[in-house]
Amino acid sequence: MKQGLRAKVLLTAGSVLVLTVFAVLLTAAHTFSQAYSKAVAERSVAVSHEVAAQFERILALGLRAEEIIGFDDRCNAVVGSHEDVEIVAVYTADGRVLFQNTSGVGRERLPELPAVRTALASSAEQQFTFTIQGREFLATLKPVVDAAGQPVAAVVVAATQESFDRRLTSFVSKVLGVGGLFIILGLAILYWSLTRYVIQPLLNVIGAVNNLREQDEDAPETIRVEATGEAQVLVDTFNRLLAQKAQQRQELSLAKELAESASRAKSTFLANMSHELRTPMNGIMGMLELAKRRMTDPKGVDQLDKAKGAADSLLSILNDILDISKIEAERLVLEDAPLQIAVVIENLVSVLGHKAAEKGLTFKFDVPAELSHMPLMGDPLRLGQILFNLTGNAIKFTERGSITLRVRKVEETADSVQLRFEIIDTGIGITPDVLDRLFRSFEQADNSTTRKYGGTGLGLAISKRLAQQMGGEIGVESTPGVGSTFVFVCRLRRREHGAVQAVDTPSLRSAEERLREAHLGARILLAEDEPINQEVSRGLLETAGLAVDIAEDGQQALALARQQSYALILMDMQMPILNGIDATKAIRASSLNTTTPILAMTANAFEEDRNTCLGVGMNDYIAKPVDPDGLYEKLLKWLGHPVIERPLDDDFSRRPTANEKGGPDSVAAISTSL
């Protein structure tokens, strides 16, 4: 590329110089031709006049033309004294040659010229051409008169065309030689100037830029090149550009730091809000549960159930807000766990079936048997969450008719399968102007203050983001007054048939009854700093027949763990003096409970919180608000089993699956209704 620029400029400049020299040559040759032709003609006229005058003086002596002798020598003398003249002859009135030079062409006998008779008849000078032996001559004819003034002869002076050609060729050769030297000299000067003032500065700039590119980010953001003129303008412009880029990088770096700081602040805020909201929610829901256990008045039980329902709704809103925040912060990680469509649907029925029944709606399922029990890998919690949101909306906006969940296989490969879920309702439908904003956060079909249906408007936005994370998409088709069809497509990995989850033997007794029978009197250490949550947790544990020691902070928990062995430890994360993480590390390092199962029971509900707990030696994770049945199941799982390996990786926040409750066979394969 370096030589290419130079070669292209030189080629262009050389072409221009050649064309210029050629144009000058043509112009000079034309001018020379005209000037030389005119000079030869004028010389021929002068010579003819001179010879005619001499011949007339001889005639004035009284001699006739035919009587004159020795005039040939005079013709030879004239030819010898004029380089361009080759023929000097005297013709008689009848056109015969009387005298001629005997050198050059004169050695040959000149032809008779009819032009002589014509010129003598008119007594006028003439110029004409004639040819001898293939050679062309330009001739001038001058009539010769006697003493009486009568034309008696004519002098013819001629020059050959070859002489003109020789002179023209000589002139062109000289011009070409000078022009060639001019071209060579011009190209040399251009090459030097181009290299000195253009190419070399450009190469210096390119080299400086390459060096700058190879240096680290802390290198000076300027290039230093010795240049002049336009090259210096280029260097200055480039340096200004580098300065702008440096400023932009600084601004971007600052913006990145601010964004990261804002993200950290947001994460901290969400974690704090999660803890601060879930902690009192745990107290509210726990107290409601304890009160319900002691309530004998049917009306009081009903009121407590309603309060529990309101608390569940509030918890659902809290979970939605935390989910959308985690998704937007790209902190939500999907699980890769075994799942079956039948199990997911059974969980869905257990939560929403009664709501459909209360409204008199028919709950239908259209799932092929091969898909219902196909062994798959994915995130059963998040798949169920999408179906819960879509089905819950369908139930909410349908007053009569049915809700249908249809599952179809779209595509299948050796290691994955793409499934299409359709939730079809016969509800109020959605107007076209609402469809475009339906999946935006905090958007609802009816945002007015008089709206009939509640909700935060986060469910569909969360569902769309989850669907995209699962390699799929979500959409809707709707006709107002007829109903809506929500379509959700996702891709799940196939699971080898041998990799089957262990299924607990179903039991008709509750987890609380089994816990009381198997571990009555087992001593539990509860590390919890919040008094209401202490009371709730202690009440649930003692109701199940367990003995409870309470530590109000991590330091007390460590001290108790060093004094007594426990069957299990429940550890809060955020506590004064010594937090749950550090307390767990210390217990695992030096205490009487280095192998005792330790379960985190905390309001910190983020995935990284769970991973942190498991990473320091805890065995499982229970999120607040605590579900009593879920708590009892966890206790049954870990009581009596010392730690010999890392904890299982089942999700801490999900409800007990259908496998835990009794298997998937309660879900019909095709077109089953509730």
Report the pLDDT value the prediction gives residue 456, as an integer from 0 to 100.
59
Which pLDDT tens digit goes with each residue over 172-214? Answer: 777 777 777 877 887 788 777 777 777 777 777 777 667 666 6
Q: Does residue 513 surpass a pLDDT of 50? A: yes
CA distance 8 to 81: 55
The two structure tokens encoding residue 17: 């110089």
Q: Does residue 333 surpass a pLDDT of 50? A: yes
CA distance 157 to 154: 10
Per-residue pLDDT, averaged over 506-522, amounts to 82
Backbone φ and ψ for 593, nearest 5 degrees, come out as -130, 40
| Of 482 and 114, the one with more pLDDT | 482
What are the Cα distances from residue 376, in Å, to 125, 334, 355, 419?
A: 121, 14, 29, 11
Give, in degrees to the nearest 5, the angle at Cα 492 between 491 and 494: 135
Per-residue pLDDT, averaged over 78-82, amounts to 76
Q: Which residues pair with 69 in a beta bridge?
A: none
Per-residue pLDDT, averaged over 312-337, amounts to 73
Lowest mean pLDDT segment, chosen from 44-53, 435-444, 487-496: 435-444
Q: Does residue 339 surpass a pLDDT of 60? A: yes
Report the pLDDT value the prediction gives residue 216, as an integer from 0 to 100.
55
Per-residue pLDDT, averaged over 547-574, amounts to 93
Per-residue pLDDT, averaged over 93-107, amounts to 70
CB-count burial class (<10 Å; 0-12, 13-18, 19+) for 668: middle
CA distance 308 to 312: 6
Provide DSSP, 336-370.
-EEE-HHHHHHHHHHHHHHHHHHTT-EEEEE--HH
What are the Cα distances from residue 107, in Å, to 72, 102, 137, 315, 492?
A: 11, 5, 16, 134, 116
DSSP letter for 483, please. Answer: E
Q: Which residues pair with 140 in a beta bridge?
A: 127, 157
Q: Does residue 6 surpass a pLDDT of 80? A: no
CA distance 247 to 250: 5
Q: Does residue 672 surpass a pLDDT of 60? A: no
CB atoms within 10 A of CB 312: 13
In 82-140, alpha helices (H): 114-122
CB-count burial class (<10 Å; 0-12, 13-18, 19+) for 24: middle
Name the band, by pLDDT with cuts 50, 70 and 90, for residue 268: low
CA distance 526 to 571: 6
What lies within 8 Å, CB to CB, of 193 at 6+ separation is none
The two structure tokens encoding residue 33: 């031709």
Q: Does residue 29 surpass a pLDDT of 80? A: no
Tokens 């003692």: give the residue: 542
Lowest mean pLDDT segment, chosen from 24-28, 55-59, 604-608: 604-608
Residue 31, SS3? helix
Report the pLDDT value the prediction gives residue 229, as an integer from 0 to 100.
67
Strands 416-425 and 376-378: unpaired
- Cα torsion through 531, 533, 534, 539, rounded to 10: 130
The two structure tokens encoding residue 384: 């169920």
Per-residue pLDDT, averaged over 138-166, amounts to 78
CA distance 10 to 12: 5
Range from 44-48, 233-237, 463-467 that averages highest in pLDDT: 463-467
What are the Cα distances from residue 674, in Å, to 43, 395, 407, 666, 671?
A: 131, 13, 17, 12, 10
Per-residue pLDDT, averaged over 261-279, amounts to 70
The two structure tokens encoding residue 263: 């993200």
DSSP letter for 439, please. Answer: T
Nearest to 601 by CA among 583, 618, 616, 585: 618
Per-residue pLDDT, averaged over 134-149, amounts to 78
Q: Does residue 446 surpass a pLDDT of 70? A: no
Report the pLDDT value the prediction gives residue 14, as an integer from 0 to 100.
72
Give the domains, in start order, of the chain with CATH numbers. Answer: 2-168 (3.30.450.20), 221-331 (1.10.287), 335-494 (3.30.565.10), 511-643 (3.40.50.2300)
Per-residue pLDDT, averaged over 156-162, amounts to 77
Q: Crossing angle of helices 229-294/298-328, nearest 10°?
A: 170
DSSP letter for 196, please. Answer: I
> Which residues of 210-324 form beta strands (DSSP E)?
none
Judge contact between 478 and 485, C-beta under 8 A: yes
Q: Does residue 329 surpass a pLDDT of 80? A: no
Q: Does residue 502 surpass a pLDDT of 60? A: no
Q: Does residue 22 surpass a pLDDT of 90? A: no
Report the pLDDT value the prediction gives residue 618, as an integer from 0 to 100.
92
Lowest mean pLDDT segment, chosen from 84-98, 242-256, 324-338: 324-338
Q: Does residue 661 surpass a pLDDT of 50? A: no
Whole-number percent of the chain with pLDDT over 70:
80
| Of 461 and 364, the one with more pLDDT | 364
Q: Does residue 492 surpass a pLDDT of 60? A: yes
Tell me what the pLDDT averaged over the chain comes to. Answer: 77
Per-residue pLDDT, averaged over 84-89, amounts to 80
Name the band, by pLDDT with cuts 50, 70 and 90, for residue 669: very low
Q: Does residue 111 surpass a pLDDT of 50? A: yes
Report the pLDDT value the prediction gives residue 655, as an integer from 0 to 100.
36
The two structure tokens encoding residue 550: 């309470």
Name the band, by pLDDT with cuts 50, 70 and 90, for residue 69: confident
Per-residue pLDDT, averaged over 272-300, amounts to 78
CA distance 566 to 470: 42
DSSP letter for 149, please. Answer: S
Provide DSSP, 524-592.
EEEE---HHHHHHHHHHHHHTT-EEEEESSHHHHHHHHHHS--SEEEE-SS-SSS-HHHHHHHHHHSST
Q: Does residue 632 surpass a pLDDT of 70? A: yes
Judge contact between 571 and 600, C-beta under 8 A: yes
Q: Does residue 485 surpass a pLDDT of 60? A: yes
Q: Does residue 295 surpass a pLDDT of 80? A: yes
Judge contact between 651 and 658, C-beta under 8 A: no
CA distance 24 to 36: 18
Judge contact between 89 and 99, C-beta under 8 A: yes
Which pLDDT tens digit goes with each residue over 369-393? Answer: 888 888 999 988 889 889 988 998 8
The two structure tokens encoding residue 61: 């002596």
Sheet holding 547-551, edge to edge: 547-551, 523-527, 568-571, 598-602, 620-623
Name the band, by pLDDT with cuts 50, 70 and 90, for residue 619: very high
Per-residue pLDDT, averaged over 456-477, amounts to 83
Q: Crossing angle of helices 459-469/298-328, nearest 10°?
A: 50
Q: Does residue 653 surpass a pLDDT of 50? A: no
Report the pLDDT value the prediction gives residue 497, as an integer from 0 to 100.
60
Return the amino acid letter for 477.
Answer: E
Q: Does residue 552 surpass a pLDDT of 90? A: yes
Q: Does residue 668 surpass a pLDDT of 50? A: no
Report the pLDDT value the prediction gives residue 646, as an integer from 0 to 100.
41
Strands 402-412 and 362-366: parallel
Report the pLDDT value the prediction gives residue 654, as an integer from 0 to 100.
37
> Which residues of 209-305 form beta strands (DSSP E)?
none
Residue 244, SS3? helix
Strands 402-412 and 126-132: unpaired
Nearest to 598 by CA among 606, 607, 589: 589
Name the band, by pLDDT with cuts 50, 70 and 90, for residue 450: very low
**What pTM does this model have?**
0.50
Judge contact between 421 and 476, C-beta under 8 A: no
Which pLDDT tens digit goes with each residue over 410-444? Answer: 998 888 999 999 999 998 888 887 777 777 755 55
